[in-house]
Amino acid sequence: MAVLVIHGGAGGDGPWLGKTPLDPARISCMKQVLQTIGAKLESGEIDCLEAVTMAVEMLEDEPLFNAGQGSVIDEDGSVTMDASIMRGFDQAAGSVVNVTELRHPIRAANLILKQGWPVMLNSAAADQFGLANNLEQVSQDWLKTELRRGQWQQWRASKDSPGSTDEDDSVLDHDLEGRVKTEFSDEGMGTVGAVALDSNGNVAAATSTGGMTGKPRGRIGDTPIIGAGTWADKSIAISCTGVGEAYIRTCAAHRLAMTFRSENDLAKSAELVLDEVAPLGGRGGLIAVSSSGDYVMPFQTRLMYRGLWNSGSIEVGIGPQNEI
Protein backbone atom coordinates (compact mmCIF):
# COMPACT_ATOMS: atom_id res chain seq x y z
CA MET A 1 0.00 0.00 0.00
CA ALA A 2 1.28 3.47 -0.91
CA VAL A 3 -0.38 6.86 -0.59
CA LEU A 4 0.86 10.18 -1.95
CA VAL A 5 -1.05 13.41 -1.38
CA ILE A 6 0.07 16.74 -2.86
CA HIS A 7 -1.09 20.33 -2.70
CA GLY A 8 -0.42 23.43 -4.75
CA GLY A 9 -1.69 26.00 -2.28
CA ALA A 10 -5.03 27.24 -0.96
CA GLY A 11 -6.63 30.62 -1.44
CA GLY A 12 -9.60 32.85 -2.06
CA ASP A 13 -12.82 33.71 -0.31
CA GLY A 14 -16.35 33.04 -1.44
CA PRO A 15 -17.83 30.48 -3.77
CA TRP A 16 -15.90 28.42 -6.30
CA LEU A 17 -15.92 30.31 -9.61
CA GLY A 18 -14.69 27.54 -11.84
CA LYS A 19 -11.33 26.94 -13.42
CA THR A 20 -9.10 29.77 -14.59
CA PRO A 21 -7.37 29.63 -17.98
CA LEU A 22 -4.16 28.78 -16.14
CA ASP A 23 -5.63 25.87 -14.19
CA PRO A 24 -5.35 23.17 -16.88
CA ALA A 25 -1.56 23.53 -16.74
CA ARG A 26 -1.63 23.21 -12.95
CA ILE A 27 -3.90 20.17 -13.18
CA SER A 28 -1.69 18.48 -15.71
CA CYS A 29 1.39 19.12 -13.57
CA MET A 30 -0.33 17.59 -10.53
CA LYS A 31 -1.39 14.52 -12.54
CA GLN A 32 2.13 14.13 -13.85
CA VAL A 33 3.54 14.31 -10.32
CA LEU A 34 1.06 11.73 -9.02
CA GLN A 35 1.60 9.33 -11.91
CA THR A 36 5.38 9.56 -11.87
CA ILE A 37 6.04 9.59 -8.14
CA GLY A 38 3.05 7.48 -7.10
CA ALA A 39 4.20 4.60 -9.29
CA LYS A 40 7.76 4.76 -7.98
CA LEU A 41 6.50 4.86 -4.40
CA GLU A 42 4.12 1.97 -4.97
CA SER A 43 6.79 -0.22 -6.55
CA GLY A 44 9.17 0.43 -3.66
CA GLU A 45 11.70 2.09 -5.97
CA ILE A 46 11.68 5.12 -3.65
CA ASP A 47 10.72 5.56 0.00
CA CYS A 48 8.37 8.17 1.45
CA LEU A 49 11.17 10.72 2.01
CA GLU A 50 12.36 10.58 -1.58
CA ALA A 51 8.76 10.56 -2.83
CA VAL A 52 7.85 13.83 -1.11
CA THR A 53 11.15 15.38 -2.19
CA MET A 54 10.72 14.43 -5.84
CA ALA A 55 7.04 15.41 -5.85
CA VAL A 56 7.86 18.85 -4.47
CA GLU A 57 10.76 19.27 -6.91
CA MET A 58 8.35 18.70 -9.79
CA LEU A 59 5.90 21.20 -8.30
CA GLU A 60 8.76 23.71 -7.78
CA ASP A 61 9.50 23.33 -11.50
CA GLU A 62 5.93 24.31 -12.50
CA PRO A 63 6.07 28.12 -12.90
CA LEU A 64 2.37 28.48 -12.03
CA PHE A 65 2.91 27.32 -8.47
CA ASN A 66 4.45 29.58 -5.85
CA ALA A 67 7.68 27.67 -5.21
CA GLY A 68 10.96 27.47 -7.09
CA GLN A 69 10.53 29.08 -10.50
CA GLY A 70 7.36 31.17 -10.35
CA SER A 71 7.73 32.06 -6.68
CA VAL A 72 5.98 35.27 -5.70
CA ILE A 73 8.00 38.47 -5.41
CA ASP A 74 8.94 40.23 -2.16
CA GLU A 75 8.41 43.88 -1.27
CA ASP A 76 11.93 44.74 -2.44
CA GLY A 77 11.49 42.99 -5.80
CA SER A 78 13.50 39.86 -4.97
CA VAL A 79 12.49 36.20 -4.69
CA THR A 80 13.23 34.46 -1.39
CA MET A 81 12.11 30.87 -0.84
CA ASP A 82 11.48 28.63 2.19
CA ALA A 83 11.24 24.84 2.35
CA SER A 84 11.20 22.07 4.93
CA ILE A 85 10.96 18.31 5.12
CA MET A 86 10.43 15.75 7.89
CA ARG A 87 10.65 11.97 8.11
CA GLY A 88 8.24 10.25 10.46
CA PHE A 89 10.00 7.22 11.91
CA ASP A 90 12.91 9.14 13.45
CA GLN A 91 11.54 12.72 13.26
CA ALA A 92 14.60 13.75 11.24
CA ALA A 93 14.06 17.18 9.69
CA GLY A 94 15.67 19.71 7.38
CA SER A 95 14.77 23.28 6.53
CA VAL A 96 16.00 26.23 4.49
CA VAL A 97 14.90 29.81 4.96
CA ASN A 98 15.02 32.68 2.46
CA VAL A 99 17.16 31.01 -0.19
CA THR A 100 17.60 32.98 -3.40
CA GLU A 101 19.68 30.91 -5.82
CA LEU A 102 18.47 27.32 -5.71
CA ARG A 103 16.24 25.74 -8.33
CA HIS A 104 15.06 23.18 -5.77
CA PRO A 105 14.97 24.48 -2.19
CA ILE A 106 13.33 21.23 -1.05
CA ARG A 107 16.37 19.20 -2.13
CA ALA A 108 18.56 21.43 0.06
CA ALA A 109 16.20 20.72 2.98
CA ASN A 110 16.40 16.99 2.19
CA LEU A 111 20.22 17.11 2.24
CA ILE A 112 20.19 18.96 5.56
CA LEU A 113 17.92 16.24 6.97
CA LYS A 114 20.29 13.53 5.74
CA GLN A 115 23.33 15.34 7.13
CA GLY A 116 21.65 15.16 10.53
CA TRP A 117 22.73 18.43 12.10
CA PRO A 118 21.72 21.28 12.18
CA VAL A 119 18.04 21.22 11.23
CA MET A 120 17.74 24.72 9.75
CA LEU A 121 19.98 26.93 7.62
CA ASN A 122 19.13 30.44 6.53
CA SER A 123 19.73 32.84 3.65
CA ALA A 124 23.21 32.92 2.05
CA ALA A 125 24.46 30.03 4.22
CA ALA A 126 21.56 27.87 3.04
CA ASP A 127 22.23 28.75 -0.61
CA GLN A 128 25.92 27.99 -0.10
CA PHE A 129 25.13 24.65 1.51
CA GLY A 130 23.02 23.71 -1.51
CA LEU A 131 25.61 24.83 -4.03
CA ALA A 132 28.39 23.03 -2.14
CA ASN A 133 26.26 19.90 -2.47
CA ASN A 134 25.97 20.31 -6.23
CA LEU A 135 22.42 21.61 -6.34
CA GLU A 136 21.48 23.60 -9.42
CA GLN A 137 22.09 27.32 -9.18
CA VAL A 138 19.60 29.65 -10.87
CA SER A 139 19.38 33.42 -11.23
CA GLN A 140 16.77 35.69 -9.69
CA ASP A 141 15.75 36.58 -13.21
CA TRP A 142 15.06 32.92 -14.00
CA LEU A 143 12.95 32.50 -10.86
CA LYS A 144 10.68 35.47 -11.70
CA THR A 145 7.93 34.81 -14.23
CA GLU A 146 5.90 37.39 -16.14
CA LEU A 147 2.84 36.41 -14.13
CA ARG A 148 4.60 37.12 -10.82
CA ARG A 149 6.16 40.33 -12.08
CA GLY A 150 2.71 41.53 -13.11
CA GLN A 151 1.14 40.51 -9.80
CA TRP A 152 3.91 42.28 -7.91
CA GLN A 153 3.36 45.44 -9.95
CA GLN A 154 -0.34 45.27 -9.16
CA TRP A 155 0.40 44.69 -5.48
CA ARG A 156 2.76 47.66 -5.43
CA ALA A 157 0.28 49.86 -7.25
CA SER A 158 -2.54 49.02 -4.86
CA LYS A 159 -0.63 48.47 -1.61
CA ASP A 160 -4.06 48.12 -0.08
CA SER A 161 -3.33 44.81 1.54
CA PRO A 162 0.35 44.65 2.35
CA GLY A 163 1.44 41.17 3.19
CA SER A 164 -1.57 39.64 1.53
CA THR A 165 -1.12 36.25 -0.03
CA ASP A 166 -3.22 37.11 -3.02
CA GLU A 167 -1.59 35.80 -6.10
CA ASP A 168 -4.43 36.26 -8.46
CA ASP A 169 -4.37 35.11 -12.02
CA SER A 170 -5.27 38.57 -13.25
CA VAL A 171 -2.01 38.94 -15.05
CA LEU A 172 -2.18 36.41 -17.81
CA ASP A 173 0.34 37.98 -20.08
CA HIS A 174 1.34 41.33 -21.44
CA ASP A 175 -0.10 42.99 -24.46
CA LEU A 176 2.06 44.30 -27.23
CA GLU A 177 2.49 47.62 -25.50
CA GLY A 178 3.67 45.85 -22.37
CA ARG A 179 0.60 46.77 -20.37
CA VAL A 180 -0.72 44.31 -17.87
CA LYS A 181 -4.08 42.77 -18.68
CA THR A 182 -6.32 42.86 -15.66
CA GLU A 183 -9.65 41.69 -16.94
CA PHE A 184 -9.53 38.38 -15.17
CA SER A 185 -9.21 37.80 -11.48
CA ASP A 186 -8.94 34.69 -9.36
CA GLU A 187 -6.86 33.75 -6.41
CA GLY A 188 -4.65 30.75 -5.85
CA MET A 189 -1.83 30.87 -3.40
CA GLY A 190 0.42 28.26 -4.91
CA THR A 191 2.65 27.05 -2.08
CA VAL A 192 3.37 23.37 -2.69
CA GLY A 193 3.58 20.32 -0.47
CA ALA A 194 3.49 16.55 -0.37
CA VAL A 195 2.89 13.80 2.20
CA ALA A 196 3.51 10.13 1.56
CA LEU A 197 3.07 6.69 3.10
CA ASP A 198 5.37 4.01 1.71
CA SER A 199 5.03 0.25 1.64
CA ASN A 200 7.09 -0.06 4.84
CA GLY A 201 4.44 1.94 6.71
CA ASN A 202 6.66 5.02 7.02
CA VAL A 203 5.47 8.57 6.37
CA ALA A 204 7.15 11.87 5.40
CA ALA A 205 6.10 15.44 4.65
CA ALA A 206 7.59 18.28 2.59
CA THR A 207 6.55 21.88 1.89
CA SER A 208 8.08 24.63 -0.31
CA THR A 209 7.09 28.23 -1.03
CA GLY A 210 8.02 31.67 -2.25
CA GLY A 211 5.92 33.01 0.64
CA MET A 212 3.55 35.92 0.16
CA THR A 213 3.48 38.61 -2.51
CA GLY A 214 5.11 41.79 -1.18
CA LYS A 215 6.41 40.15 1.99
CA PRO A 216 8.90 42.32 3.86
CA ARG A 217 12.62 41.62 3.83
CA GLY A 218 13.51 38.83 6.26
CA ARG A 219 9.96 37.57 6.79
CA ILE A 220 9.78 33.86 7.58
CA GLY A 221 6.48 32.05 7.14
CA ASP A 222 5.29 28.72 8.50
CA THR A 223 6.63 26.65 5.61
CA PRO A 224 10.21 26.20 6.89
CA ILE A 225 9.16 25.90 10.53
CA ILE A 226 8.97 22.32 11.71
CA GLY A 227 5.71 21.90 13.60
CA ALA A 228 4.04 24.91 11.94
CA GLY A 229 3.96 24.23 8.18
CA THR A 230 5.41 20.71 8.14
CA TRP A 231 5.38 17.78 10.54
CA ALA A 232 5.91 14.01 10.50
CA ASP A 233 6.15 11.40 13.24
CA LYS A 234 5.56 7.65 13.35
CA SER A 235 1.79 8.06 12.93
CA ILE A 236 1.21 11.02 10.64
CA ALA A 237 2.71 13.39 8.04
CA ILE A 238 1.32 16.90 7.44
CA SER A 239 1.93 19.80 5.03
CA CYS A 240 0.06 23.11 5.48
CA THR A 241 -0.75 26.08 3.26
CA GLY A 242 -2.30 29.43 4.07
CA VAL A 243 -1.41 32.66 5.83
CA GLY A 244 1.75 31.47 7.55
CA GLU A 245 1.66 33.65 10.64
CA ALA A 246 -1.51 31.95 11.89
CA TYR A 247 -0.02 28.50 11.30
CA ILE A 248 3.05 29.53 13.28
CA ARG A 249 0.99 30.93 16.15
CA THR A 250 -0.97 27.69 16.45
CA CYS A 251 1.93 25.30 15.69
CA ALA A 252 -0.66 23.95 13.29
CA ALA A 253 1.06 20.89 11.85
CA HIS A 254 2.27 19.64 15.23
CA ARG A 255 -1.09 20.47 16.74
CA LEU A 256 -2.77 18.22 14.21
CA ALA A 257 -0.41 15.39 15.10
CA MET A 258 -1.26 15.80 18.79
CA THR A 259 -4.98 16.18 18.16
CA PHE A 260 -4.95 13.06 15.99
CA ARG A 261 -3.19 11.18 18.80
CA SER A 262 -6.01 11.97 21.21
CA GLU A 263 -8.99 11.93 18.81
CA ASN A 264 -7.86 9.05 16.61
CA ASP A 265 -10.01 10.49 13.83
CA LEU A 266 -7.99 12.21 11.10
CA ALA A 267 -10.80 14.13 9.37
CA LYS A 268 -12.21 15.43 12.66
CA SER A 269 -8.74 16.34 13.96
CA ALA A 270 -7.88 18.26 10.79
CA GLU A 271 -11.11 20.27 10.98
CA LEU A 272 -10.51 21.06 14.65
CA VAL A 273 -7.05 22.41 13.83
CA LEU A 274 -8.19 24.51 10.85
CA ASP A 275 -10.92 25.94 13.09
CA GLU A 276 -8.21 27.08 15.50
CA VAL A 277 -6.05 28.56 12.73
CA ALA A 278 -8.85 30.49 11.00
CA PRO A 279 -9.66 33.01 13.77
CA LEU A 280 -6.02 34.11 13.71
CA GLY A 281 -6.34 35.07 10.07
CA GLY A 282 -5.04 31.79 8.79
CA ARG A 283 -7.38 30.95 5.98
CA GLY A 284 -5.95 27.93 4.24
CA GLY A 285 -5.76 24.19 4.24
CA LEU A 286 -3.56 21.18 4.76
CA ILE A 287 -2.87 17.67 3.60
CA ALA A 288 -2.13 14.73 5.87
CA VAL A 289 -1.61 10.98 5.69
CA SER A 290 -1.51 8.54 8.58
CA SER A 291 0.64 5.43 8.85
CA SER A 292 -2.51 3.33 8.51
CA GLY A 293 -3.31 4.90 5.14
CA ASP A 294 -5.97 7.45 6.09
CA TYR A 295 -5.59 10.79 4.35
CA VAL A 296 -7.29 14.20 4.34
CA MET A 297 -7.12 17.34 2.19
CA PRO A 298 -9.34 19.89 4.00
CA PHE A 299 -9.36 23.63 3.30
CA GLN A 300 -11.40 26.62 4.39
CA THR A 301 -10.72 28.80 1.37
CA ARG A 302 -12.40 28.99 -2.01
CA LEU A 303 -9.98 26.47 -3.41
CA MET A 304 -6.99 24.29 -2.76
CA TYR A 305 -5.03 22.69 -5.57
CA ARG A 306 -4.68 19.09 -4.47
CA GLY A 307 -4.16 15.58 -5.65
CA LEU A 308 -4.03 12.00 -4.43
CA TRP A 309 -2.39 8.78 -5.49
CA ASN A 310 -3.92 5.88 -3.58
CA SER A 311 -2.58 2.50 -4.61
CA GLY A 312 -2.80 3.28 -8.31
CA SER A 313 -5.85 5.49 -8.50
CA ILE A 314 -5.49 9.24 -9.02
CA GLU A 315 -7.75 12.13 -8.00
CA VAL A 316 -7.18 15.85 -8.43
CA GLY A 317 -9.29 18.79 -7.31
CA ILE A 318 -9.29 22.56 -7.00
CA GLY A 319 -12.69 23.72 -5.68
CA PRO A 320 -14.83 22.19 -2.94
CA GLN A 321 -15.92 19.27 -5.09
CA ASN A 322 -13.59 17.30 -7.29
CA GLU A 323 -14.89 19.13 -10.36
CA ILE A 324 -12.12 17.93 -12.62
Site residues (vs ligand ASP, CB under 6 A)? 9, 165, 189, 191, 209, 211-212, 221-223, 229, 241-244
Residue nearest to ligand ASP (CB): 244
Please write down the HEC assignment for all residues of 218-239.
Answer: CCCCCCCCECCCEEECCCEEEE
Task: Looking at 195-284, list the stretches that DSSP marks H as alpha helix, in order from N- to C-terminal side.
Answer: 244-249, 252-263, 266-277
CA–CA gap between residue 20 and residue 17 (Å, rounded) = 8
Beta bridge partners of 281: none
Measured from the CB atom, the residue of 12 and 229 that comes closer to ligand ASP is 229
Cβ-count burial 51-69 (b if 16+ within 10 Å, e if not): bbbbbbbbbbbbbbbbbbb
Measured from the CB atom, the residue of 46 and 195 that comes closer to ligand ASP is 195
Measured from the CB atom, the residue of 2 and 192 that comes closer to ligand ASP is 192
Measured from the CB atom, the residue of 9 and 88 that comes closer to ligand ASP is 9
Long-range contacts of the stretch 132-137 (C-beta < 8 A, 24+): 133/108, 135/102, 135/103, 135/104, 135/107, 135/108, 135/111, 136/102, 136/103, 136/104, 137/101, 137/102, 137/103
Measured from the CB atom, the residue of 40 and 254 that comes closer to ligand ASP is 254
Coil/strand/helix, residue 288: strand
**Closest listed residue to residue 207, CA positions, set 88, 66, 80:** 66
Catalytic residue, candidates 191, 209, 250, 301 = 191
In whole angstroms, the minimum distance from the beta carbon of 202 to ligand ASP comes to 25
In whole angstroms, the minimum distance from the beta carbon of 242 to ligand ASP comes to 5
CA–CA gap between residue 286 and residue 284 (Å, rounded) = 7
In whole angstroms, the minimum distance from the beta carbon of 175 to ligand ASP comes to 29
CA–CA gap between residue 92 and residue 243 (Å, rounded) = 25
In whole angstroms, the minimum distance from the beta carbon of 294 to ligand ASP comes to 23
In whole angstroms, the minimum distance from the beta carbon of 211 to ligand ASP comes to 4
Catalytic residue status for 259: no
In whole angstroms, the minimum distance from the beta carbon of 247 to ligand ASP comes to 6
Measured from the CB atom, the residue of 38 and 231 that comes closer to ligand ASP is 231
Burial environment of residue 249 by CB neighbours within 10 A (0 to 12, 13 to 18, 19 or more):
middle
The catalytic site residues sit at 191
